[in-house]
Chains A and B, each alone.
Chain A
Amino acid sequence: MSISEVGDLKATPGAALEARVAELERRLAEVEDRQPEDRVSMVVFSGDLDKVLAAFVIATGAAAVGQEVSMFFTFWGLTALKKRSTLSGKRFFEKMMSVMTPSDSTGLPVSKMNYFGVGAKMLRKMMADNGVASLEEMMALARELGVKIVACEMSREVMGIHDDELVDGWETGGVASFLGDALTSKASLFI
């Protein structure tokens, strides 16, 4: 049934009219279902301090202006979610990965001019001097504001990161769980 048919009301007896209204209501509900929600979703692929910080600035800002926020951490992004590094129970390559990646967010490098961590320390100092909240403060704030933190199950397993190495409050998910959020979001970012 097309809209123009529905518009032709004069020639329509009561029962048919009701049927058309019902059909319109059904289609309106369908359209409403497809409207994006007040949601922002992100893939955090990077484990660089500056990029992760940008992700959390957007996340906390979006949550503050009334958006639901989902952050999907994958590959290097997972290192930002770590609270410690353990070696026991890991295979050789997994141990190597543990040793060569930061054991928590305070050890994240910067994407440029890192110079073995000196650059990251410098950036943190410059941000603190400017009154910018630290990454750790932002992460705590994000949790307080109800930002959803999802750790990609596949890359977590590949990198050999154990559940108890990650900060509290994360949930596990895969591409479909991200898409479930992203496809109903008003904005979707890859960082």
Chain B
Amino acid sequence: MSEMTFDRLLDASGLKCPMPVVKARKEIRGLEPGQILKVIASDRGSVKDFQGWAKVDRRVELLAQETRKSESGDGAESYVHFVRLVK
């Protein structure tokens, strides 16, 4: 998948529910409407959590999600979310 552009990066690796969404919410407040936050998480539940966030919160839009093999080669996966601040 081609790399999406983003305006800010949040590394939420190592954080568990509900922290990836909570931190992302805090981070995205610093963006302008239309800008994109990229979040990297290690919490598998974050995939559904970010979908849930976008579903209930009209101020954000979930543009894409990816699952990547961790670069450390230990078989762990990371979950990448692209969230746009709508308003």
A residues near B (Cβ < 8 Å) are 38, 57-58, 60-61, 63-67, 130-133, 141, 145
Contact = CB atoms under 8 A, between A and B. Distances in A.
A63 B53 CA distance: 10
Nearest to A61: B18
8 contacts: A61-B21, A61-B49, A64-B21, A64-B24, A64-B53, A66-B59, A130-B16, A133-B16
Interface of B: 14-19, 21-22, 24-26, 49, 52-53, 56-59
Overall SS of chain A's interface: loop
B22 to A, nearest CB: 4
Contacts of A57: 17-18
A71 to B, nearest CB: 15
A63 B26 CA distance: 11
Contacts of B16: 130-133
A128 B22 CA distance: 18
Nearest to B21: A64
Max count, chain B CB within 10 A of own CB: residue among A38, A58, A66: A66
A60 B15 CA distance: 14
A130 B16 CA distance: 8
Contacts of B14: 131
A38 B17 CA distance: 21
A61 B58 CA distance: 16
A64 B15 contact: no
Contact of A60 (B18, B53, B59): B18
Between B14, B17, B24, B52, the greatest number of chain A beta carbons within 10 A of the residue's beta carbon is seen for B17
Nearest to B17: A57
B21 A65 contact: yes
